Amino acid sequence: MSETQVIGKTPQKAEEHPMAKILRMDRIPHIWCSTCGIGTALTSFATALEKVNIPLDHICVVSGIGCSGRIAGYVKLDSFHSTHGRALPFATGLKLGNPKLKVVVISGDGDIAGIGGNHLIHSARRNMDLVVLCINNFVYAMTGGQTAATTPLTAITSTSPYGNYERPFNLPHLAASCGAVYVARWTCLHVRRLAKSIEEAINKKGFSFIEIIAPCSTIYARRNRLGDGLDLMKFYHDNAIIKHGADTRELDIGYQDKIIVGKFVDIERPTFLDSLNAWNKKVLGEKFREYGGPND
C-alpha cells in the first residue's frame, strides 16, 4: 500500500489539493460513496496526465451514464457527459471532428459493455484513436445494483436475488478480439501500475482499452456480504495475479475467484484515420484533400 501514500498524504497546512490542476474543485465533494473505486481510478488518470506530453487543452474526456459516467463532471478538461452507452460514438465524432484532440472515454461496465457493447466492438474494429477506461464494479450501481453483463456467475444482485446465472463478458478478450491495440486490466489496488498503463494508452495511437476492477462496497459487496472497502482491497491484494501478456481467453472473472491483471496486448495497427487518409491518397493521388480539423 506504500504506493497510495504519496497521493493520500494529509496536507500539513491548507495547501492546494494535489489534483487541483486536473479536478474541478468547485464541484467537490463528489457524489461517489465512501470506499468506491471510481475516485481511485480518477486519481490514477490524473497521475498519468501529469506525465503525458500532450497539452491538457487537447485532452478531452467523454463519459456515458452511471456512477463512473460522473467522472466527466469532475475533470478540469473539455469534458462531455453524453447519453447512456453512447460515450464511444460521441467520442468518435469529437475525435474525427478535430483529429488533433486526444479523447479519453471514462465510463462504467454497464455503459461501455452493456448498453454500449455494439459501439465497443465497432470502435475496436475500426481502431478508432481513443483511450477507453472501463471501470468495472460488476453491477449497475447508480440504479441500485442490478445484474450487469459483467456480474460474476452466482453473485447476488438486486435483480438476481438468488444468484446470477448469466455468463459475464471477459472484457479484455472482447476488446482484444475486436482489434484493440492496447489492452490491460488492473484493480483499484494497483494504482501505480494503472497510472502507468493509462499513460501508455494515452501516448499510444489507436484503440486502447483498460479495464479497471473497482470496489462497490455500498451495493455489490453489501449484497454479497463481502465486507467493506478495505476488505475488498485486501481481496484484490490476495487474489490479483499479475500476468503480463496472458492469453486473453483466460481472463474470465469468477465469483470471488482469482483476478488476472496486467498488460495483455500492445501492438501496432493503422487507425481509422490513418487508413482513410492512406487509402484515399493512394487511390486519388493529388486530388485527395486530407481533413485537418475545424479550422481547415
Partner 1 sequence: MKANPKNVLTGAHYLDGDHACSEGALAAGCNFVAGYPITPSTEVVERMTERFPTIGGIFIQMEDELASMAAVVGAAWSGAKAMTVTSGPGFSLMMENIGLAAMMEAPCVIINVQRGGPSTGLPTLPGQADMMQVRWGSHGDYEIIALSPNSPQECFEFTIKAFNLSEKYRVPTFVMSDECVGHMTEKVIIPPADQIELEPRRYTTLSPAEYLPFKPEKDLVPQIIKAGDGYKIHITGLTHDEKGYPVMNWQTQEKLVRRLVDKIRLNQDKIVEFEEENTGDAEVILLSYGISSRVAIPAIQKARKEGIKVGVLRLIVVWPFPEKRIYQLAKKIKAFVVPEMNYGQIVLEVERSAKGQAEVYLVPHGGGWVHDPEDIYKAIKEAVR
Q: Using CB under 8 A as the criterion, which residues of the chain lie in contact with partner 1 when the complex forms?
A: 24, 26-27, 56-58, 60, 62, 72-73, 76-83, 85-86, 88-98, 100-101, 118-119, 122, 272, 276, 280, 284, 287-296
Give Cβ neighbours of residue 226 (< 8 Å, ≥ 6 apart): 217, 220, 232, 235, 256
Judged by CB, which is closer to partner 1: 138, or 209?
A: 209
Q: Report the nearest approach of partner 1 to the CB of residue 6 (Å).
A: 26
For residues 55 and 36, give the distance between their C-alpha atoms in angstroms, rounded to a whole number.
29
Q: What counts of helices (H) and strands (E) characterise the chain?
A: 10, 10
Nearest CB to partner 1, comparing residues 161 and 285: 285
| Cβ atoms of 88 and 130 closer than 8 Å | yes
User: What residues does 59 pair with on adjacent strands?
Assistant: 102
Taking the C-alpha atoms of residue 131 and residue 117, their distance in angstroms, rounded to an integer, is 16
* Closest distance of CB 48 from partner 1, Å: 18
Shortest Cβ 66–partner 1 spacing (Å) = 12
* Nearest CB to partner 1, comparing residues 14 and 283: 283
Closer residue to partner 1 in complex, CB, 143/280: 280
CA-to-CA distance for 103 and 106, rounded, in angstroms? Answer: 10
In angstroms, what is the minimal distance from the CB of 12 to partner 1? 29
- Say if CB 271 and CB 129 are below 8 A apart: yes
Q: Which is nearer to partner 1, 80 or 182 (CB)?
A: 80
For residue 100, the minimal CB distance to partner 1 (Å) is: 6
Distance (Å) of CA 121 to CA 53, 172, 184, 188, 221: 29, 11, 16, 25, 29
Shortest Å distance, C-beta 156 to partner 1: 30
Q: How far apart are CA 296 and CA 48, in angstroms?
A: 31
Closer CB to partner 1, residue 101 or residue 148? Answer: 101
